[in-house]
Amino acid sequence: MKRPGHVEAGRVERGVNVPQSYRLARRDSRGERTVVHLRNGATFGGEEIAICAGPCGVESSEQLDETARSVADAGANVLRGGAYKPRTSPYSFQGLGEEALKMLRDAGDRYGLGVVTEVLDPRDVELVTKYADMLQIGTRNMQNFPLLREVGATRMPVLLKRGLSATVQEWLLAAEYVLLGGNESVVLCERGVRSFDVATRNLLDISVVPLLEDLTHLPVIVDPSHAMGIARLVPPIAVAAIAAGAHGLLIEVHPDPPNALSDGAQSLDCAQFRELMRRLSPVAEFAGRRLPRRKPSGDGVANAGYRGSAAGEESASTAHSEVRSSSSGVKLA
Amino acid sequence: MKRPGHVEAGRVERGVNVPQSYRLARRDSRGERTVVHLRNGATFGGEEIAICAGPCGVESSEQLDETARSVADAGANVLRGGAYKPRTSPYSFQGLGEEALKMLRDAGDRYGLGVVTEVLDPRDVELVTKYADMLQIGTRNMQNFPLLREVGATRMPVLLKRGLSATVQEWLLAAEYVLLGGNESVVLCERGVRSFDVATRNLLDISVVPLLEDLTHLPVIVDPSHAMGIARLVPPIAVAAIAAGAHGLLIEVHPDPPNALSDGAQSLDCAQFRELMRRLSPVAEFAGRRLPRRKPSGDGVANAGYRGSAAGEESASTAHSEVRSSSSGVKLA
Amino acid sequence: MKRPGHVEAGRVERGVNVPQSYRLARRDSRGERTVVHLRNGATFGGEEIAICAGPCGVESSEQLDETARSVADAGANVLRGGAYKPRTSPYSFQGLGEEALKMLRDAGDRYGLGVVTEVLDPRDVELVTKYADMLQIGTRNMQNFPLLREVGATRMPVLLKRGLSATVQEWLLAAEYVLLGGNESVVLCERGVRSFDVATRNLLDISVVPLLEDLTHLPVIVDPSHAMGIARLVPPIAVAAIAAGAHGLLIEVHPDPPNALSDGAQSLDCAQFRELMRRLSPVAEFAGRRLPRRKPSGDGVANAGYRGSAAGEESASTAHSEVRSSSSGVKLA
Amino acid sequence: MKRPGHVEAGRVERGVNVPQSYRLARRDSRGERTVVHLRNGATFGGEEIAICAGPCGVESSEQLDETARSVADAGANVLRGGAYKPRTSPYSFQGLGEEALKMLRDAGDRYGLGVVTEVLDPRDVELVTKYADMLQIGTRNMQNFPLLREVGATRMPVLLKRGLSATVQEWLLAAEYVLLGGNESVVLCERGVRSFDVATRNLLDISVVPLLEDLTHLPVIVDPSHAMGIARLVPPIAVAAIAAGAHGLLIEVHPDPPNALSDGAQSLDCAQFRELMRRLSPVAEFAGRRLPRRKPSGDGVANAGYRGSAAGEESASTAHSEVRSSSSGVKLA
C-alpha cells in the first residue's frame, strides 16, 4: 500500500547533516512568489486579494444558500463552511459530513464562489477533494503529519492554519510537509495564538504578515473571526490585516449569529459583512492590491456539478490548482 | 461504513442544553478511581506506580534490546519506544514503522515489560494494537478527534499526553472522546506546556498532579524527559512528581544518548536510570505507593508471540485492558 | 509627610462591597472620550493623531538634535528619548539622567516637539516634570504602584505602557491608580506582550486598539518598535495600527541604528521614518483621522526654556496638561 | 546626592565588550554555595531548610500573633506578612504600613521567628530595614531597578521573587543588580509564572529548582501558595518542591482564611499548616536536608526590641546578614 503517510517511515536519517529547516517553503527557493489559483478565478498571493466568507459550520442548505448569496453579492469570492467540525467537546455539533460537502459545492457553483472546507481525517481527503476547491487544515491539525502528507499527495490548494501555539518556524515546517509531497499550492492562515489574556479568544499575531513576506514565497491570509471571538472586533482587525499586506481574509458570516450552532459570537451577520467590504476597498487599494472583481451570479463559472470519484483525485486537483508563477520551475525530490 | 470517526457527524445537537464538559471523565461519575492494568501486570492508578522507560525512537533491535534489558533490571515495568515519530521537520527521522513494532513486542515479551508506543494515524490503530499493550496519543494529537475516536473504539489502554498549550479542561474533554467510545482505560500524561522561557524544553505543570486527583477518576503520570529536555534535570523532577502523587513516570532512556537519532539531550543513559530508580523507592513509599515489584526476567509473563490479525481488534484489546476498579480503594497520601 | 504612595495604607477596606474594577477608566464614566493635549499642541485621542519619534536612549546632544530635526521635518510632533533606561542587565547603558533631560527639552523647544520620556523612580518624578511634557511609565513599571501614585499626583500627561504579560483588565486598573490621584491625562500604549515565539521581540496585540475603544474613554497608541524588535517590520505594523484606529504611534528613530547604544535593531533611520510618514498619511485619512499638521521649525511653540523648580510641580503640570473633552466629538471610523 | 538608584546613570558603556550576563550570580563565581543567615538562626541554602509562613497581609495584631504562635509551634522559623501590599486594584486593601511592620517585629521576637516582608518603594527601604530581617522584592518589582539598587545598598538579606513572566536569565540579572550593590545575601523565590490556563493562579515552574542549582550559587525557595491560588493544592506542591531540592518554602497561613482581606483562597489554616509540616519532615530528610530545629518559645532569640533609626542602616543590616560560606571571599567591585 502506498499511502503518503508512510513514505518516510523506515528511512533512518542522521539529523546532523540534514538542515532541519524549510527548504521548499523558504523565500529564496523560488524566483517568484507563489500565487494560488482556485477554479473560479480566486487568487491568493496576487494583486487581487481573496475574500473567503461563510458560516463556521454548514447547518442546512437554506442557511448556506442565504449566506453564500449574500457574501457573493457583497464581493467575496470564496465560500467557507465546515462539514467536519473539530470540537473541543464530543458533545458539541460535529458537522453534517458529506451532506454538507454537497451543499457547499452547490452553493459555490450557484454563486460563482470557490469552496474551502476543513478536512480532519486523512481518510476523508479523497472524499473532500471531490467537492471542495481548497482543503483547510485546521489549527489543531497543523502538526497532524499523516494528514499533511495526505493533502500533500493531492494537487488541490491547501489552506494551512497556524497551530494554537506554533512558532513561525514550526508553521513553515508544516507547510514543508505539504510541499514535499509535491503540492505547491499552500496558503498560510494566521488565526491568532493562545495567550494569557481572555479579553479576546486568541491573540492575533499581525506581525507574521510582513514577517512571512521575508521568510517564504507562500501567500498569507488572516482569520480575524477566530482570533477575536467577538464580532464587533472583526472589521477593524480585518482592515488592519489588509493594511499590513495580507493576501486575503477568512471571515465567519452567518445570517443569524445568535442562533448559530457554533461560533455565533464571532460571526458577522450579512449586513455587517457588506459594511466591512465597503471599508476594505480603499485599504486594499492603499496596500497596492484590489478586492475581487464582482461577477454576475450564475455566469461562466457555473460548473458541471459534482466531480464524480471516477474523475480521480489527480485530475480533480490539477483542474483546481494552478501555481502559475513558477516559471523557473520548482523541482521537488 | 462504520468507522468510529463519524459516529457523531450528522447529529445536530444544540449546544444549549448539553453540558459542555466531561461527564464521563469527572471524578464523581464513578464510585472509585480508575486503575488501568496492562497484560504484564503493570498498573496505573493503584498502589503500585508504573515506570515506563525506553528510547524516544526505536532505532534497531540491538539498541532496543539493550535498553529493555537494562530498564527491566532497574525495575521498570513498561517499555516505551517510538515506531511512528511525529517530527516537526519532514527531514527528521520518522521512525521505523511496523518493523519497530515487532522489535518492541519482542523486547517487551523477553523482559516481561508492557509495551506503550505512539500511534499517529487512525489508519494505523489496528496494526499497532496487534503489537502494543498501550496506545500513546502524543502531544500534537491531543485534539486529533478522528484518532481519539479510533482508539476509543478499541479496548486497549490509552496514554493521553497533554497538548502543547492545552488547558486542563480541554485535556479532560479529549479523554472524554475516548471514554465516550467505550474505552475506559485512559491514563493522562503531563509532559510540560509551551512557555516563554527557553531554559527548559517545556514547562512542567506539576500542579496538575493534585489538581486532576480532584477533577477526575483517571490516573495521571508525568513525563519529565520531554518537559525538561535536559537529562540532568530529569531525576529531581521525576522524584518531585512522585512526591506530588503521580501514578507513574514516562522516562526516556537510551544506551548511548549522544548518538540517539532523536531526543538524545534529554535521555538518561542506563546507569543514570538505575540511579534514579534507587532514589525513587523511598519517595514512592512516602507517597503511600510502591515501585513495581521485580520479576525475574523471562518468567511467567512470557507470551505466545505476536497476536495475529485474525485475533481481531476486540479480543486483542480486551485481553490487554482490564479496568478493575480497585475495590480495596486507592490510598492517596 | 504626605507622599502619594501612602494615601491608601492604613485604610482597611473589605473587598466584598468594593467593585474590583476600573471605575474611572471605564468608557461610561465620562460623557466624552478623553483627549490629551501637550503644550506644543500635540493631541492624543482627537482627530489628529500623535506621532512620537526619537531614539531609544539619549546618547549625546548631537545625536538627539539630528534625530529631533529629522523627525520634526518628517511630521512627528512629539520627541521620545530615554534619560533613565530600565535595562535587564546592570552592565548595559543606563541612560544619561538629568543631562539627557536637558537635551530633550532643548531639542523639543528647538523643533516645536513635545517631549515624552520615561521615569523609573518615584523620587525622580519631580525632576522629570521640570523638563518633560509627558511622563512615560514603562512596561516593567506598569504595576509599580508607588510610581503610579506619584505620577497620579502630578498634572502632567502620562503614557502608560502595557506590562509584559498584563491583561487588559490589569492595564486599565493600573491607569485607575493614576486617575484616582486626580491626573486625568492618561494615554495607553500597546507595545507587545511576551510570547512563546522568538520570531519577533514581543507579540503585538493589535486587538486592544478596537477593544479599548469599547472599554475605556482613554486614548490608545501603539509602539511597533518594541513589539517587533526588527526595523523592517515596523512600517507595515505602524500602518496597520493606524488602520485599526490607534490614536498615535511611538517609533524609535536613530540617525545611525547600527551604532545605537540600545535597541539599534529595531530603530528606523531618518530616511525610513520619512518614508513611513508618507505611507501613513492616506491610512490616517481612511481611518477618519489626520497626521499632525506641519509647523515651521522655531515658530510659536518656542518656549521660555527650562521651567525652574520654583514653578512648582502643580503649575508645571497644569500648564502642560489640558484634558479638554472634545466637545465636537471624536469621529471614530 | 548618593542614592544607589543613580550610580550607573551617566556612565555610557558600549554593550559590545561587556558580557551581558550575570557575573556575580553565576555558579562558578564563588567557590561555595551561598548560605543566607537571618539573625534568629534561620538559614537559606544550608542543610536546614527555611520555612517562612504567615498571612498574606498583616491585618491586626491579634491575627498576626495567633498566626505567628501557631506557625512557630508547627516548626516554621520565619514569619511572613505584608505591610505594604501591591494590589492590582487601587480599591483593594493596601496594607497597614509601618504599623504592620511593628506588629511583625513584635510577633517575630515573641516567637523566635525571623521576619520577611515586602518593600515596594525605594523610599521605604530604610524604614523597613528597621523592623525586618529580610526584604522581599515582589513579583511585580523584579525589574524595578531603583528598588533593586536600594536593597542592594543595604546589607539585609533579600528574597527576590521571580517576575510574572521573567525568564531565568532575567531573574538572575535582577539578582545581579542586588549583588552588584555589595549585598551578597540574595535568595531566589519561584512563585509560578503566568500561563494560558486558569485552572491554577499561576504555573509553578518546578524545573528551576534543579536548574538554578547549576546556574547559580544562590539558594532558591518555592512559594506554592501564590503559584496555586488554591489551598488544597499547596501541601502536595510544597512536598514536591522540597523533594526537588528547594532550600525552603514560603507559605501563606491565616487563622481564618475565608475572612482574610487578601489571598484567602490560597491560605492554609493553622491546622492544615501543622499537617503539612508533619508531611514535610521525611521528605526533607530524603532530600538530604532537615526541617528547622524547634526552639522553645521565648528562648534566647528574644531581642532588644525595635532597632532605632539611630542604629543606622549599615549596622542593622550587617547584624542580620552573614554570608558565612564565602571563605574564599567574593570581591565585589
Closest-CA distance of chain D to residue C261, Å: 6
**What gap in Å lies between CA A180 and CA A185, rounded to an integer?**
11
Look up residue A13 and give its DSSP letter. -
Residue A21's pLDDT band (cuts 50, 70, 90): confident
Neighbours of A318 (CB within 10 A): 13
Q: Mutate which of C21, C207, C209 to disrupt the A interface (most A C-beta within 10 Å)? A: C207
Q: Which residue in A99, A144, A180 is closest to B10 by CB distance?
A: A99
| pLDDT averaged over every residue in chain B | 86
Strands B43-44, B36-37: pairing kind:
antiparallel
The CA-atom distances, in angstroms, between D42 and each of A151, C330, D113, D115, D286 are 64, 61, 8, 10, 20
Chain A residues within 8 A of C199 when measuring between CB atoms:
167-169, 207-208, 211
What mean pLDDT do residues A247-268 have? 95
Question: Mind listing the pLDDT tens digit for each residue in D82-91?
Answer: 999 999 999 9
Answer whether A205 sits within 8 Å of C195, measured CB to CB.
yes
pLDDT digits (tens, 9 = 90+) for D251-304: 999 999 999 999 899 999 999 999 999 999 999 999 999 999 866 544 434 333
- Chain D, 148 to 167: residues with Cβ < 8 Å from chain A are 165
pLDDT score at C50: 98
Element (H, E) at C278: helix C270-286
Which is more confident, D107 or D198? Answer: D107
Nearest to B97 among A10, A90, A194 (CB): A10
Q: Which of A194, A196, A198 sits opposite D194 (nearest CB)?
A: A196
Neighbouring subunits of A (3+ Cβ pairs under 8 A): B, C, D
In angstroms, the CA B196 to CA B202 distance is: 9
In chain B, what are the helix, strand and coil shares in percent, each to the nearest 5?
Answer: 40, 15, 45
* Amino acid found at B220: V
Taking CB atoms and an 8 Å limit, are D97 and C173 in contact across chains? no
Residue D36 has pLDDT above 90, yes or no: yes
Shortest distance, CA C196 to any CA of chain B (angstroms): 4
Neighbours of chain B (3+ CB pairs under 8 A): A, C, D
* List of chain B residues whose C-beta atoms are within 8 Å of the C-beta of residue D232: 210, 214
Judging contacts by C-beta atoms under 8 Å, the chain B residues touching residue C196 are 165, 194-196
3 state DSSP class of B160: strand
In 3D space, the residue among B279, B162, B257 whose CA is nearest the CA of residue B216 turns out to be B162
CB contact under 8 A, A207 and C195: no
Q: Report the residue of B196, B198, B201, B203 to disrupt the C interface, i.e. the one with the largest count of C CBs within 10 Å.
A: B196
pLDDT score of A54: 98
Q: How does D137-153 read in b/e, with b if 16+ C-beta sit within 10 Å?
A: bbbbbbbbbbbbbbbbb
State the CB neighbour count (10 A cutoff) for residue D20.
Answer: 14
Whether the CA torsion C178, C184, C190, C191 is positive or negative: it is negative
Does the distance separating the beta carbons of B210 and D200 come in below 8 Å? no
In angstroms, the CA B274 to CA B269 distance is: 9
Report which of D154, D146, D137 is spatially closest to residue D312, judged by C-alpha positions: D154
Residue D35 in domain? no
Least reliable range by pLDDT among A91-105, C13-27, C222-236, D211-225: C13-27
Q: Which residues of C133-151 are buried (b: 16+ CB within 10 A; e: fewer)?
A: bbbbbbbbbbbbbbbbbbb
**Contact of A162 with A193, CB cutoff 8 Å:** yes
Grid coordinates representing D77 are 522559623
Segment B259-318, tens digit of pLDDT:
999 989 999 999 999 999 999 999 999 999 999 986 655 443 433 333 333 333 333 333
Q: Is residue A215 part of a domain?
A: yes
Task: Outline where DSSP puts E strands in chain C.
Answer: 36-37, 43-44, 50-54, 78-80, 114-118, 134-137, 158-161, 186-190, 220-222, 248-252, 322-323
- How does DSSP assign B98-155, residue by residue? HHHHHHHHHHHHHHT-EEEEE---GGGHHHHHHH-SEEEEPGGGTT-HHHHHHHHTS-
DSSP state of A283: H
Chain-centroid distance of CA A68 in Å reads 17
pLDDT tens by residue, B170-200? 999 999 999 999 999 999 999 999 999 999 9
> Beta-carbon neighbour count of residue B88 at 10 Å?
18
Distance in angstroms between the alpha carbons of the first and the last residue of chain B: 48
- Nearest residue in D to C86, CA atom: D145
What's the rounded Cα separation, in Å, for the pair D266 and D201? 9
Tell me the three state secondary structure of residue C59: coil
Domains identified in chain A, total number: 1
Interface test with D, best of C60, C123, C172, C173 (most D CBs within 10 A): C123
Kindly give, in sequence order, each residue whose CB lies less than 8 Å from that of residue D76, ignoring residues fewer than 6 positions away: D51, D52, D53, D54, D113, D251, D273, D277, D292
pTM: 0.88
pLDDT of residue C31: 87
Q: Can you give the pLDDT of all 333 residues of chain C as single tens digits?
A: 333 333 233 333 333 333 458 999 999 999 899 999 999 999 999 999 999 999 999 999 999 999 999 999 999 999 999 999 999 999 999 999 999 999 999 999 999 999 999 999 999 999 999 999 999 999 999 999 999 999 999 999 999 999 999 999 999 999 999 999 999 999 999 999 999 999 999 999 999 999 999 999 999 999 999 999 999 999 999 999 999 999 999 999 999 999 999 989 999 999 999 999 999 999 999 999 999 986 654 443 433 333 333 333 333 333 333 343 332 222 222
pLDDT at D305 (0 to 100): 36
Contact B210 D169 (CB under 8 A): no
CA separation for the pair B146, A25 (Å, rounded): 28
Kindly state whether A169 is in contact with chain C, defined as any CB-CB distance less than 8 angstroms: yes
Residue (of D247, D241, D243) closest to D285 by Cα position: D243
Whether residues D194 and A194 touch (CB distance < 8 A) is answered with no
In a domain, residue D313? The reply is no
The DSSP bridge pattern shows strands A220-222 and B158-161 to be: unpaired
Whether D27 is in a domain gets the answer no
Q: Is C122 exposed, middle or buried (0-12, 13-18, 19+ CB in 10 A)?
A: buried
Q: What is the 3-state secondary structure (H, E, C) of chain D?
A: CCCHHHCCCCCCCCHHHCCCCCCCCEHHHCCCCCCEECCCCCEECCCECEEEEECCECCCHHHHHHHHHHHHHHCCCEEECECCCCCCCCCCCCCCCHHHHHHHHHHHHHHCCEEEEECCCHHHHHHHHHHCCEEEECHHHCCCHHHHHHHHCCCCCEEEECCCCCCHHHHHHHHHHHHHCCCCCEEEEECCECCCCCCCCCECECCHHHHHHHHECCCEEECHHHHHCCHHHHHHHHHHHHHHCCCEEEEEECCCHHHCCCCHHHCECHHHHHHHHHHHHHHHHHCCCECCCCCCCCCCCCCCCCCCHHHHHHHHHHHHCCCCCCCCCCCCC
**Separation of alpha carbons A233 and A236, rounded Å:** 6
Dihedral sign from CA coordinates of B217, B218, B224, B227: negative
Whether the predicted pLDDT of A106 surpasses 80: yes
Q: What phi and psi, each to the nearest 5 degrees, are found at residue B81?
A: 175, 140
- Is pLDDT at A20 greater than 60 in this prediction? no
Q: Which of residues 189-218 of B touch D (CB under 8 A)?
A: 193, 195-200, 203-211, 214
CA proximity to A286, closest of C251, C228, C284: C284
Contacts of D239 in chain B (CB under 8 A): 243-244
Q: Report pLDDT for B226.
A: 97
Average pLDDT over residues A152-178: 98
Tell whether A41 is covered by a domain.
Answer: no
Rg (CA), chain A: 19
Separation between Cα atoms, residue C135 and residue C2, nearest integer Å: 21
Asked if C285 reaches chain D (Cβ–Cβ under 8 Å), the answer is no
Cβ–Cβ contact B41 with A under 8 A = no
Q: Which pLDDT value is given to residue B51?
A: 98
Q: Do C205 and A197 touch (CB under 8 A)?
A: yes
Residue C182 CB-half CA count within 13 A? 9
How many residues in total does chain C contain? Answer: 333
Q: Tell me the pLDDT tens digit for each residue of D1-33.
A: 333 333 233 333 333 333 458 999 999 999 899
Residue C118 φ/ψ, nearest 5 degrees: -80, 140
The secondary structure of residue A232, as a DSSP letter, is: G
> Is residue C112 in a domain?
yes
Structural domain of B72: 46-288
Q: How far apart are CA A313 and CA A152, in angstroms?
A: 12
Secondary structure in 3-state letters for C11-48: CCCCHHHCCCCCCCCEHHHCCCCCCEECCCCCEECCCE
> Cell numbers at residue A278, please?
465597503
Query: pLDDT for A185-217, tens place per residue?
Result: 999 999 999 999 999 999 999 999 999 999 999
Specify the DSSP class assigned to residue B193. B
The one-letter amino acid code at D274 reads R
Nearest to D250 by CA among D275, D222, D272: D222
Q: Indicate whether D322 pLDDT > 70.
A: no
Residue A189: how many CB atoms within 10 A of its CB?
26
Select the residue of D210, D230, D282 nearest B237 (Cβ to Cβ). D210
pLDDT at A14 over 60: no
pLDDT digits (tens, 9 = 90+) for D49-77: 999 999 999 999 999 999 999 999 999 99
CATH number at residue B211: 3.20.20.70
Q: Hey, are the CB atoms on B92 and A13 less than 8 Å from each other?
A: yes
Q: Which residues of B292-307 are buried (b: 16+ CB within 10 A; e: fewer)?
A: beebeeeeebeeeeeb
Length of chain B measured in residues: 333
Closest CA to C49 of C231, C280, C237, C308: C280
Give the DSSP per-residue string, B287-302: TT-BPPPP--TTSTT-
Smallest Cα distance from A168 to chain D, Å: 19
List the chains bordering chain C where 3 or more Cβ pairs fall under 8 Å: A, B, D
